[in-house]
Amino acid sequence: MNRSSSWAHEAIAVFAKDWLLELRTRVALGAVVLFAVTSVVASGFALAPPSGVPAEVKAALLWVVIFFAAVAGLSRVFVVEEETRTADALRLAVSSTGVFAGKLAFNAVLMWTLCAITVPLYLLLLEAPLRNASLLVIVVLLGSTALACATTAVGAIVAKATMRGALFGVLSFPVALPPLLVVIHATKAAWLSDNAWRVAAGDLQVLSGFMLVIVPASVLVFEHIWSE
């Protein structure tokens, strides 16, 4: 088996193992979704019409909710390996690239699940205007993937430190900020703009570019975080 296909196989195995574990306990899913639903309901209660909150504020609020919900769950996938002391076994069995790719895929799917529940609920409860639904789907998909890409390696760092919960938020905010800023701008475009695709085109390019840079950077440093 050549090298490239071997790490892909390993990644799929890690991904399948992590989802199997997750579906048994549902710790990460529960934390993330509950956090998001609670904050959406609370903001819906406070900000629903006729409160007159502009759509710009709503776009920023949506992504703040998604980001903080993600912070509640995205480090779980590495923390659980340290807590159950299975990290050493995983290190022996799988290459570090395989582990990173598997965990990244896990976090991406977790983010998509989170967004699939949060965004429709948010649109419903806060009555956000929606000019361009297909653009919104693309923006949410790219944005949530970018957040997963930005924070997965940070989760691996945090799992090795003390006071993990607080630390993950502090460390992931600066790394996640570029995609957050861009995705808020694009969401505003999808809600308000008549020629939304043209307004958001630059944002989508920056988002994809960011992922193309942060993922190789993460793979490079992950080797050093993961190996003892």
CB 124 within 8 A of CB 37: no
- Return the beta strands (E) in the chain as ranges: none
Q: Does 85 bind another protein (CB under 8 A)?
A: no
φ/ψ bin of 52: left (φ > 0), alpha (ψ from -120 to 50), beta (otherwise): left
Which string of x and - marks every residue 131-150 that binds another protein (by CB under 8 A)?
A: -------------------x
Which CB sits closer to another protein, 53 or 181? 181
CB 190 within 8 A of CB 135: yes
Q: Does 97 bind another protein (CB under 8 A)?
A: no
Q: Smallest gap, in angstroms, from Cβ of residue 158 to another protein?
A: 9
Q: Smallest gap, in angstroms, from Cβ of residue 179 to another protein?
A: 9
Which CB sits closer to another protein, 53 or 211? 211
Q: Peptide bond before 50: cis, by omega within 30 degrees of 0?
A: yes
Q: Does 225 bind another protein (CB under 8 A)?
A: yes
Who contacts 18 (Cβ-Cβ below 8 Å, separation ≥6)? 77, 102, 103, 106
CB under 8 A: which stretch of 3-11, 73-81, 152-160, 192-200 binds another protein?
152-160
Residue 158's alpha-carbon distances to 56, 163, 164, 179, 180, in angstroms, are 33, 8, 6, 21, 21
In the block, residue with structure tokens 């989170």 = 114
Q: Smallest gap, in angstroms, from Cβ of residue 114 to another protein?
A: 22
Which string of x and - marks every residue 155-194 that binds another protein (by CB under 8 A)?
A: --x--xxxx---x--xx-xxx-xx--x-------------
Q: Does 217 bind another protein (CB under 8 A)?
A: yes
Q: Does 154 bind another protein (CB under 8 A)?
A: yes
Q: Does 214 bind another protein (CB under 8 A)?
A: yes
List Cβ<8 Å contacts ≥24 apart for 21-24. 21/80, 22/106
CA separation for the pair 99, 78 (Å, rounded)? 10
Q: Smallest gap, in angstroms, from Cβ of residue 74 to another protein?
A: 14
Q: Does 71 bind another protein (CB under 8 A)?
A: no
- ∠ CA 212-218-224, rounded to 5°: 155
CA separation for the pair 73, 88 (Å, rounded)? 22
Q: Smallest gap, in angstroms, from Cβ of residue 57 to another protein?
A: 15
Binding site for another protein (CB under 8 A): 150, 153-154, 157, 160-163, 167, 170-171, 173-175, 177-178, 181, 202, 206, 210, 213-214, 217-218, 220-222, 224-225
